[in-house]
Amino acid sequence: MRYKKRKYFLAGRINLIQRSKIRELFEKARKMKNVISLGIGEPDFDTPEVIKEAAKRAIDEGYTHYTPNAGIPEFREAIAEYYRSHYRIDVSSDDIIVTAGAYEATYLAFQTLLEAGDDVIIPDPAFVCYAEDAKIAEAGIIRLPLREENDFQINPDELLEAITKRTRVLVVNYPNNPTGAVLTKETVRAIADIAEDYNLYILSDEPYEHFLYEGAKHYPMIKYAPDNTILANSFSKTFAMTGWRLGFTIAPKQVIRDMIKLHAYVIGNVTSFVQIAGITALRDRRSWEAVKRMRHTYAERRKVVLKYLEEMPHLTPFRPKGAFYVWAKIDPELDMSSEDFANWLLENARVVVIPGTAFGKAGEGWVRISYATKRGQLIEAMERMKEALSGL
């Protein structure tokens, strides 16, 4: 008996999300020789040895099984200890869930808080995952422009104007990716007050909290709006643990309970021995000494990039006070879009930078330059860019 060949269709929701322009540029660069990438947002350092040794010991000690969905209790307590000691914030381990990086934290938060027809306010420019996660949650997206004249901070007055009766969530990401901006304490307090007044949740994504320059300080949103904040954080940047996929979320009890419920069906639990390594990362002074060295190195690289850019034609840098990126403005007289400029630089200087439009429409006219790259390569890339741009 013959059967008719059936057609198979993908779920429509998969067509809502777009492929990252960052990855598209990397794939193009991968086919070319002698390319230096200043694009990827990943520390070039190895994970501190003390953390790696802790993971190895954990495997030998039998941490190879399931853990509680929310995470190993001792690890969650270590996270709570960190916020109590570092920021003087009283956090309960019961309000913490261990996630597969901050990526999963964002997904869980949006799926838990948003329904079809709800609105989420997302800054523009902003990291790429927020808008795509919002689409999967079938939420409306309101983009809030971050302006150079305001040092790329959220403007509380513009935030008030953006709020609708359907607004449920506001995304905050500082130190900021891609601009490197930080929030003043006054702005943090203003945002917190608005969230409380309008009954909004704030998804505050804070993975760059330890990479600050020129005396800048980080003010965790949860300190100022504890009942409204879902704090997402990650070990990826702080401890150079991107491949470990280790993060966490702190949220009000009613939110964390439902996030755990969803997390249980998404991945069950984060890898057991990775969580044990996370305890060492937070509690061992040697891991924090490594963070201090990384911060010092980033600060030196930042100086190098800013010095070159300030002397380079056709690019004007914004001075970042956080993260490990420089947000640079393209000379309007070049009459090039951000994507055209990034592609031109790749072809003519063999250097990868990320077009600002990868982070939203307000990123047009800008590029993101990562200095999470060895000093020698960084200088070589700057020289190439300077030579290529001088010929325009």
Chain segment 231-272, per-residue pLDDT in tens: 999 999 999 999 999 999 999 999 999 999 999 999 999 999
Chain segment 362-390, per-residue pLDDT in tens: 999 999 999 999 999 999 999 999 999 99
pLDDT class for 11, splitting at 50, 70, 90? confident
> Where do we find the tokens 């403005």?
329
Asked if residues 387 and 351 have their Cβ atoms less than 8 Å apart, the reply is no
Task: Give the dihedral sign, CA 331/334/335/339.
Answer: negative
Peptide bond before 125: cis, by omega within 30 degrees of 0? yes
| pLDDT exceeds cutoff 70 at 336 | yes
C-alpha span between 37 and 27 (Å, rounded): 11
Chain segment 70-96, per-residue pLDDT in tens: 999 999 999 999 999 999 999 999 999
Closest among 279, 249, 254 to 69, alpha carbons compared: 249
C-alpha span between 28 and 265 (Å, rounded): 36
C-alpha span between 317 and 56 (Å, rounded): 43
C-alpha span between 73 and 305 (Å, rounded): 43
| Domain residue ranges in the chain | 12-46+288-390, 49-286
Q: How many alpha carbons lie under 13 Å from residue 127 in its C-beta half-sphere?
A: 24
pLDDT, mean over the chain: 95
First to last CA, the chain: 69
pLDDT class for 3, splitting at 50, 70, 90? low
At the second CATH level, the architecture of 49-286 is 3-Layer(aba) Sandwich (3.40)
User: Whole-model pTM?
Assistant: 0.93
Asked if residues 144 and 160 have their Cβ atoms less than 8 Å apart, the reply is no
C-alpha span between 117 and 120 (Å, rounded): 10
Asked if residues 120 and 361 have their Cβ atoms less than 8 Å apart, the reply is no
Tell the CATH topology of 12-46+288-390: Aspartate Aminotransferase, domain 1 (3.90.1150)
334: which 2 tokens?
């070049």
* Confidence (pLDDT) at 318: 98
C-alpha span between 102 and 236 (Å, rounded): 9
Query: For the chain, what's the residue count?
Result: 392
Angle at 83 between CA 77 and CA 88, to 5 degrees: 125
